[in-house]
Chain A
Amino acid sequence: MGLASRPDARTVSYEPQGNEGWVATRLDFLVNWGRANSLWPMPFGTACCAIEFMATAASRFDLARFGMERMSFSPRQADVLICAGRVPFKLAPIIRRIWQQMPQPKWCISMGACASTGGMFDNYAVVQGIDTIIPVDVYVPGCPPRPEGLIYGIRMLQEKVLNERRMDNRLRDEMSPDPSSQLYISPAAIDELGEPFGNSVHQTRSAP
């Protein structure tokens, strides 16, 4: 760890002649490979970028090639928050809450000029970049970005995921919940917000 030079993250060795069929690799690589190729996006589409996002997910550009065909409309089952479109101040506490509801490990893509910087909406009503509210991993420029642009951003995110280290827990550090904060959501409130959730009756409650 630390300053030691890292071995190639993609190294996979196996023995094709052996009848056992075993594979030796690094745990980091295996876990990251699984994560990077099964990212479930949480679409947060508020404007025209969402149209391009839908085009990206549809058959012509086919986001399923990268393991993202499963749109997660519940933040509790999502890995990537894709914010496509402008976020007004009235939505700020809502996107913050959605981000807090997503389980770790989680990433965020800010799609388009408005989500990244406020874009042309430099006015009283629009948040000037969602990174003032939640951490962002990849910014996709464009107004709106073409599907190729979004796919390029997603590939960049996959690259980032592939190079993460499990021992490096700074990546997953979060503010510990402070019950005296106004942003704190009690488990009871989470339960109520998450009312229609999942397919299983055992899936409906947050941890006590």
Chain B
Amino acid sequence: MTGKFETVSAGSALPANDAPVTPHGIPHRGGAVNPAAAALGASFPGAIVRTEVVWGETTIIVVPGRILEVMQWLHDDPDQRYDFLSDVTAVEYRDLDRPVEVVWHLRSLPFRRFLRIKAQLPRNAPLQVPSVWSIWKSADWIERECYDMFGIRFVGHPDLRRILMWEQYKEGYPLRKDFPLRGRFSRSEQLRQALVQNPEAKYSMEELSIADAFEDLPEDMRRRIGSGERTGE
């Protein structure tokens, strides 16, 4: 290989020689606000509750019902281009007066920006928010994980099942504040319920891509799937 290295900026919206700089001297509160905050406020009046900047990272708190349109705009707008959903999680505070928060971590690879979106869900209503699976397909598993651990329903998710615990897990949602560390059942009951699980029951037919080929399967496999063996019940 000859010649100097050249910076490759495939798909970047920034100049090629605009190398990333490690930030320093960031204040705890305040500082530069992500430009998405002002743009969102102009485009979606009434959807933005407030904006915070903590350690240089902008958090925008959005009305839960309008999450989907805000996310769609953040993904599609040529000045935002948040094309990477890196995490979906939730926060439950020990203070029972505070709402449960659902957190989305967005990253814009072309602009090298990070944005945190939160939705506050009141305690006296069902915990549900719209799913962003239609925008980022990576939301599939991380929303399932959030549902598994916190019990938040993502409306519009194509396959909202448990992903870490097994499907027939009956003890609740482990990361909730009212969940005891050792679970709700006795050890022997937990073990009994765990041992009757079918080790093969981890995949849906869609994941295995055998739903379409069902007629071509061997006869014994069709019989087993037809008898509901996937669920282990």
Q: How many A-B residue pairs have CB under 8 A?
A: 49
Nearest chain A residue, comparing its CB with the CB of B188: A132
Stretch in B106-114, B135-143, B194-202 with 4+ CB within 8 Å of A? B194-202
Q: Does B165 contact A (CB under 8 A)?
A: yes
The reply to whether A183 and B183 contact each other, CB–CB distance below 8 Å, is: no
Stretch from A6-14, A27-35, A44-52, A90-98 at the B interface: A90-98
B208 at the interface (CB under 8 A from A): no
The residues of A that contact B183 with a CB separation of less than 8 Å are 123-124
Let me know if B166 and A90 touch, CB within 8 A.
yes
Instruction: Please determine whether A90 and B171 come into contact, CB atoms closer than 8 angstroms.
Output: no
Kindly state whether residue A73 has any CB partner on chain B within 8 Å.
Answer: no
Measured CA separation A176–B183 after assembly (Å): 33
Inter-subunit contact B182/A90 (CB<8 Å)? no
B181 touches A90 (CB 8 A): no
Residues of A within 8 A of B166 (CB): 89-90
- Indicate if the CB atoms of B194 and A123 lie closer than 8 Å: no
Q: Given A92-B194, A123-B182, A125-B174, output 6 extra A-B contacts at Cβ < 8 Å.
A: A90-B165, A90-B194, A92-B191, A93-B196, A124-B171, A124-B179
Interface residues of B, Cβ cutoff 8 Å to A: 164-166, 171, 174, 179-183, 187, 190-191, 194-199, 220-221
Tell me the A residues contacting B by CB distance below 8 Å: 89-90, 92-94, 96-97, 122-125, 127-128, 132-133, 182-183, 188, 192
A-B contact pairs, 19 of them (CB 8 A): A90-B166, A90-B194, A90-B197, A92-B194, A92-B195, A93-B195, A93-B197, A97-B199, A122-B181, A123-B182, A124-B171, A124-B179, A124-B182, A125-B165, A127-B191, A182-B196, A183-B195, A183-B196, A188-B220
